[in-house]
Structure 1
Amino acid sequence: MISLYLARHGQTEENIARIFQGHLPGRLTVEGISQAEVLRDSLKRIPLDAVVSSDLKRCMDTAEIVMEGRELPWETTSLLREIDWGSWTGLRIKEVDLHHIPADVETEEMLYQRAGCFLDYIKANYEGKTLLAVGHGLINRAVQARIQGVTLQHLRSVPKMDNAELRLFML
């Protein structure tokens, strides 16, 4: 069994500006740093065995804050990256036609499959461990859907995660 604590990174400047971040690094705001500190404090009494995070800066910065004062194994993975917005990356949400998604945007099906690959990876490498995984809004939603047996067709029914929100799953 794996105790998986799934968290989203702290608030970023791009979140505030309503920008499609996708694979951009992202910069934590002062509020995002504070959110990560609150997350760190809420995890203090939990004996974590390891941390896995997205390899994008906003998640790595959040994970570093959360791990302050702990000597934990930490690895980054592209499996936890946010959805790839393709040619929309860096654009403001209000600047695009949401009814005509470009062909170079990662599909929900691809995201859902990647979430399954992440779960397969941690099941193969973290059995019996308590793990913190720091990811992004949409990939975390897909991971949660896979854990709960929610089908791709019902992916949007999975509740969104707020910045620095934490959810526990037993695998």
Structure 2
Amino acid sequence: MSGILVHLMRHGAPEEPGLLLGHRDDVPTPGGVAGCVARASDLAFDRVISSDLRRSSIPAAEIAQQRGLPHDLDLRWREIDFGAWDGLMPGQIDPADQSRFWDDPDACPPPGGERWSQLRARVGEGLAQVREASLILSHGGAMRAALSVVFGFDHRQVWAFDLPYGALVSLRIWPGDGVPAGQILRLDSGTPT
């Protein structure tokens, strides 16, 4: 079996960069949309999947429309829910609370927010449903969760991946009973030209 090609792309820059954006539905900048479209131009895929949040769904819809491909909205590809921290600048949050979250996001989620294991579970379910070569436009946390699911990385290891706006990770996955196996084909965090 040759596996399934999956391209994970982080959305382009939002109108207010620097905020903790979880489920807050901010729009991307026109340049952010154009960067995602440019980044996708040399990729092979048969379907576009995205988070329903506009910073992902707007560029995904543009890419799908240009290629005449189906575009599926899938809530499982949303960013981690930052709860009470959603939409705040990191400097507005108690540093000790942030440190506890980054050290152990499962035991110390943001107030009213999501645990790391919950993000991993829903992204894993979304990844298990991919049946054909796909471009998935999502978020930094969801992309890291996908890498964690496929490769078994813990939360500290996945934060070592630089995934700025517009970053691309291409994988080949082999679905199976439970966790898919995979290999990284491409990790590109540079600015698309």
TM range (shorter): 0.7 to 0.9
Q: State the Cα deviation string for residues 78-108 of structure 1 (Å, max 9, x = none).
A: 1000010111112222111142154312122
Q: State the Cα deviation string for residues 2-33 of structure 1 (Å, max 9, x = none).
A: 11011111111122xx2121111112123312
Mapped partners of 1:160, 1:85: distance in 2: 20
Mapped partners of 1:161, 1:78: distance in 2: 20
Partner secondary structure for residue 120 of structure 2:
helix
Whether 2:22 is the aligned partner of 1:22: answer yes
Tell me which of 107, 111, 114 is aligned to 2:122: 114
Q: State the Cα deviation string for residues 29-69 of structure 1 (Å, max 9, x = none).
A: 233123123223233xx2x2111110111101111232242
Mapped partners of 2:157, 2:166: distance in 1: 24
Partner secondary structure for residue 67 of structure 1:
helix
Mapped partners of 1:57, 1:106: distance in 2: 20
Q: CA deviation at 1:170?
A: 0.6
Q: Aligned pair count?
A: 160
Please state which structure has a larger fraction of its residues in helix: 1
Measured on the aligned residues, the alpha-carbon RMSD in Å equals 1.8
C-alpha contact (below 8 Å) 2:21/2:82 kept by paired residues = yes
Mapped partners of 1:153, 1:35: distance in 2: 28
C-alpha contact (below 8 Å) 1:53/1:134 kept by paired residues = yes
* Structure 2 counterparts to residues 1-171 of structure 1, below 5 A: 1-15=3-17, 18-43=18-43, 46=44, 48-100=45-97, 102-122=110-130, 126=131, 129-152=132-155, 154-157=157-160, 159-171=161-173
Mapped partners of 1:161, 1:80: distance in 2: 15
C-alpha contact (below 8 Å) 1:137/1:160 kept by paired residues = no
Mapped partners of 1:109, 1:77: distance in 2: 18
C-alpha contact (below 8 Å) 2:12/2:28 kept by paired residues = yes
How does the TM-score come out when normalised to structure 2? 0.75
Q: Which runs of 5+ in 2 are unaligned?
A: 99-109, 174-193
Mapped partners of 2:172, 2:40: distance in 1: 20
Partner secondary structure for residue 116 of structure 1:
helix
C-alpha contact (below 8 Å) 2:64/2:70 kept by paired residues = no
Q: Which runs of 5+ in 1 are unaligned?
A: none
Q: CA deviation at 1:153?
A: 5.9
Amino acid at match of 1:113: A
Greater relative contact order structure (CA < 8 Å, 6+ sep): 1
Structure 1 stretches of at least 4 aligned residues deviating more than 6 Å after TM superposition: none
